[in-house]
Structure 1
Amino acid sequence: MDMPMSFYWSNQAIILFDGWSVQDATGMAFSVIGIICAGALFEGVKRLVGWVGKGKGMLVNRDTGDTSDPEERTPLLKSPPDVALTRKRKHMSHNAVLCRSRLRYHLAQSLLHVLQVVLAYCLMLVVMTYNGWLAIAVFLGAGLGYFVFFADMEIKA
């Protein structure tokens, strides 16, 4: 099969792999709907990656980032060594939990990023079929997804 080098308008196409072969208008219509959904899903995953990143950034140390012990700053009110050691252990265990939470967020964000990249390349390959209907479906899906998933963005004039 010759690869077209300009957009064509046909109801026949092979999309991404041999098993997804469209031969009639009904098959093309269902494929267009599926590709619109995939384009919208891409925008949703993109938004989700950013949302997970914000969640990771909101993990803050309970003592507002100040890692020093308040009793170390006021030597007159110093606790016995065993109380100070217990507080340091609590602080260290809290930091370990904070680190594990950040790692989970980062892992989730990384996996979502991989999904985003896979979707992006698949959509690019759909456009590279040069079928006009399929290309329009990718563009409509991306626009629809942006409209739905980025609707709460503030517009500043």
Structure 2
Amino acid sequence: MDHHMSEDMDMDMNKGPFMWMWFHTKPQDTVLFSTWNITNAGTMVWACILVAVAGVILEAIKFTRRVIQKNQPNSKKESYFSRLLSTKHFLQTFLFFVQLGFSYCLMLIFMTFSIWLGLAVVIGLSIGFLIFGGKSE
């Protein structure tokens, strides 16, 4: 490989977007959007904090859905369609939509193969489970 070609490739890698196919510890990542580039330790710390908070929020959403489900009356008199069209069911459906979005975003963040971002996902979800993961009864 030509020496100049190698330098050009190195320069391109320093501009981003960064995509790794193996686990790494370097603070060079592009997260979810082409504009969310991690280029140094400081931006990595902030990204990890944000990702961990997203994990806690995801567990809070799951907890909220469980509470709503528990508080929903189990009336046999109510028809399937009236339960389906109830306000609580629409709220649960919206929360499920948000939960899926958060879940897939966290999965994609883990798939950056950054050890630090992966740990942030796991730590955030674990803290969320610690706070919200108990039985809702």
Q: Which residue of 2 aligns with 1:88?
A: none
Q: 1:25 aligns with which of 41, 44, 55?
A: 41
Q: Which residue of 2 aligns with 1:42?
A: 58
Q: Which residue of 2 aligns with 1:14?
A: 30
Alpha-carbon separation, structure 1, partners of 2:110 and 2:45: 16
Structure 2: stretches of 5+ with no match in the other structure: 1-16
User: 2:100 matched to 1:117?
Assistant: yes
Equivalent residues of 1:59, 1:102 under 8 A apart: no
Alpha-carbon separation, structure 1, partners of 2:39 and 2:19: 17
Distance 1:36 1:51, change over 3 A: same
Q: 1:4 aligns with which of 20, 23, 30?
A: 20
Alpha-carbon separation, structure 2, partners of 1:112 and 1:48: 8
Equivalent residues of 1:55, 1:105 under 8 A apart: no
Alpha-carbon separation, structure 2, partners of 1:124 and 1:107: 26
| Identity fraction in percent | 29
Structure 1: stretches of 5+ with no match in the other structure: 68-94
**One-letter code aligned to 1:143:** S
Alpha-carbon separation, structure 1, partners of 2:124 and 2:25: 19
Alpha-carbon distance, 1:51 to partner:
1.1
TM-align CA RMSD:
2.5
User: 2:68 matched to 1:52?
Assistant: yes
> Which residues of 2 match residues 75-94 of structure 1 at below 5 A?
none
SS at match of 1:106: helix
Alpha-carbon separation, structure 2, partners of 1:9 and 1:45: 30
Equivalent residues of 1:37, 1:141 under 8 A apart: yes
Q: What CA deviation, in whole Å up to 9, does each residue of 1:107-154 have, x standing for no partner?
A: 000000000000000000000100110000000000000001124569
Kindly tell me the number of residue pairs found equivalent between the two proteins: 119
Q: Which residue of 2 aligns with 1:149?
A: 132
Q: Which residue of 2 aligns with 1:133?
A: 116
When normalised by structure 2's length, the TM-score is 0.76
SS at match of 2:86: helix
Equivalent residues of 2:109, 2:117 under 8 A apart: yes
When normalised by structure 1's length, the TM-score is 0.67
The structure whose Rg is larger is 1
Alpha-carbon distance, 1:52 to partner:
1.2
